[in-house]
Amino acid sequence: MKRYSAMALLRAGLTGQRGWERAWRDPEPKPHYEVIVIGGGGHGLSTAYYLAKVHGVRSVAVLERGWIGGGNTGRNTTIVRSNYRQKPLHDLFDFALGLWEGMSDALNYNVMFSPRGALFLGHSDADMTQLAQRGDALRCSGIDAELMTPDAVHRLVPLLDMSPDARFPIHGGLIQRRGGTARHDAVAWGYARAADAQGVDVIQNCEVTGLVMAGGRVTGVETTRGTIGAGRVGICVAGNSGPVAAMAGLKLPIEAQTLQAFVTEPVKPMIDTVVMSQSLHCYISQSDKGGIVLGGDPDQFPSYAQRGLPIRLEKAAAEAIALVPALSRLRMVRCWSGTTDMSFDGSPIISALPVDGLYLNGGWCYGGFKATPGSGWCYAHLLATGESHPLAAPFSFDRFATGATIDEAGVGFMPQLR
């Protein structure tokens, strides 16, 4: 792998941009790998990278049915933060945040991680109590959290409607200054390039259509490019977890749902932090290109349509405009959807499955982008050693039977209520 650097860029600029090599190979599948990861999203690719880099497992293939990063990795609103209330969640996400902070250097790829702050607004006394509790819980775990007065919030985001008769009056906020956004495609490409350099085969246009079983154990996968043998198989397919698990006759505590996002025409910098809310499901940030990126609720019923309900966009837009009235002047230029893997308690599953040799990383709902490096780190540990990484141990497949669920929203075990 030729290293990218300012010097290399300058040299190529003076020589007509010739001589760049491709970022990763386009290999033919080999007959057998030690580990096969199904799904070339950020989670699958980071898993492969850490398998090779941390555990020295280099006989690894990532099989992607389309192009890498074409799933939820390339469709999300790129918010990265670790300020969850529940300890197992914030420990895992904060470990991931630490990896985000060094990711561009580690991968020699600019993932444009931008720690511009992740702000939750509070709209009532009850909201502020909850935000204060969450902040306390975070600080007890050594994670940065700062409760903000309305004045401080206003100074940070001057375009917010701070008037007392605003539709959603602003009583203050909780900010995680280390949170922010990143360039989603670059995350997939950066991990693919770095994994490839470690000897991992990143194989695109290769859909897994079945699992090969022998003696109650998974020994390989059937694909659109032939049968490939494997010592261990890791599912990492986000919204498609159900159909892939069904290949092993398994049912999961997961239901697929559509989640949408949309973006406005690009404008000059107007919001330089990520704005979210304790009571509303609306999140606002500005991309480096200038578009205001907005997201809202999922459709709240099972769907693989990758096309969501217009009323969800309308609601998110209405909430965003109520918070930042200036947004009403912008035109929306694009909307899109992804199929999210909604788990029953809203938390992920990183676990062995009840079939030997088969593992699952899924159930990230609509919050898994921020976990990408941590998820891959823990999944690589599981696939390399057969043992759960301590940070991932609470996210077991059997926690629904034992009752040890991790329910951040506190709404009970229903995927459509997340």
Ligand X SMILES: Cc1cc2nc3c(=O)[nH]c(=O)nc-3n(C[C@H](O)[C@H](O)[C@H](O)COP(=O)(O)OP(=O)(O)OC[C@H]3O[C@@H](n4cnc5c(N)ncnc54)[C@H](O)[C@@H]3O)c2cc1C
DSSP assignment of 102-117, as one string?
THHHHHTS----B---
Label the pairing between strands 118-122 and 274-277.
parallel
- Applying CB under 6 A, does 76 fall inside the site for ligand X? yes
In terms of CB distance, is 150 or 296 closer to ligand X?
296
Output the smallest distance, CB 239 to another protein, in A. Answer: 9
* Chosen residue from 41, 117, 291, 357 binding ligand X by CB under 6 A: 41
- Applying CB under 8 A, does 304 fall inside the site for another protein? yes
Per-residue contact flags (x/-) with ligand X for residues 92 to 121, judged by CB under 6 A: ------------------------------
CB proximity list for 157: less than 8 A, separation 6 or greater: 119, 271, 273, 275, 324
Contact 346, 408 (CB under 8 A): yes
Candidate segments 137-145, 249-257, 264-272, 329-337, binder of another protein by CB under 8 A: 249-257
Residue 93: name the closest of 40, 53, 137, 63 by CA. 137
Q: How far is CA 104 from CA 36, 110, 191, 274, in A?
A: 26, 5, 10, 21
For CA atoms 173, 179, 183, 189, the dihedral sign is negative
Task: Tell me which residues in 339-398 interact with ligand X (CB under 6 A).
Answer: 340, 364, 366-370
* Chosen residue from 8, 246, 409, 411 binding another protein by CB under 8 A: 246
Output the smallest distance, CB 17 to another protein, in A. Answer: 42
Residue 379: name the closest of 27, 54, 31 by CA. 54
- Applying CB under 6 A, does 193 fall inside the site for ligand X? no
- Applying CB under 8 A, does 163 fall inside the site for another protein? no
Interacting partner of 76 out of ligand X, another protein, none (Cβ under 5 to 8 A depending on kind): ligand X
Output the smallest distance, CB 82 to ligand X, in A. Answer: 10
* Chosen residue from 344, 359, 364, 366 binding another protein by CB under 8 A: 344
For CA atoms 114, 112, 374, 303, the dihedral sign is positive
End-to-end CA distance of the chain: 43
Candidate segments 42-50, 185-193, 316-324, 408-416, binder of another protein by CB under 8 A: 408-416
Whole-number Å distance between alpha carbons of 130 and 173: 10
Pull the structure tokens for residue 81. 């933060």
* Chosen residue from 62, 256, 284, 406 binding another protein by CB under 8 A: 256
* Chosen residue from 58, 59, 70, 177 binding ligand X by CB under 6 A: 70
Interacting partner of 157 out of another protein, ligand X, none (Cβ under 5 to 8 A depending on kind): none
Candidate segments 82-90, 126-134, 233-241, 384-392, binder of ligand X by CB under 6 A: 233-241
In terms of CB distance, is 254 or 384 closer to another protein?
254
Contact 104, 111 (CB under 8 A): yes
CB proximity list for 412: less than 8 A, separation 6 or greater: none
Whole-number Å distance between alpha carbons of 88 and 77: 23
Interacting partner of 357 out of ligand X, another protein, none (Cβ under 5 to 8 A depending on kind): none
Residue 372: name the closest of 132, 129, 192 by CA. 192
- Applying CB under 8 A, does 240 fall inside the site for another protein? yes
Q: Where are the alpha helices (DSSP H) in 102-169?
A: 103-107, 125-140, 150-156
- Applying CB under 6 A, does 244 fall inside the site for ligand X? yes
Number of other residues whose CB lies within 10 A of the CB of residue 396: 16
Output the smallest distance, CB 149 to ligand X, in A. Answer: 26
Contact 283, 129 (CB under 8 A): no
Output the smallest distance, CB 162 to ligand X, in A. Answer: 25
> Where do contacts with ligand X occur on this chain (CB under 6 A)?
38-44, 63-66, 70-73, 75-79, 207-208, 236-238, 240, 244, 259-261, 295, 338, 340, 364, 366-370
> Where do contacts with another protein occur on this chain (CB under 8 A)?
240-243, 246, 251-256, 300-305, 309, 311, 344, 400-401, 413-414, 416
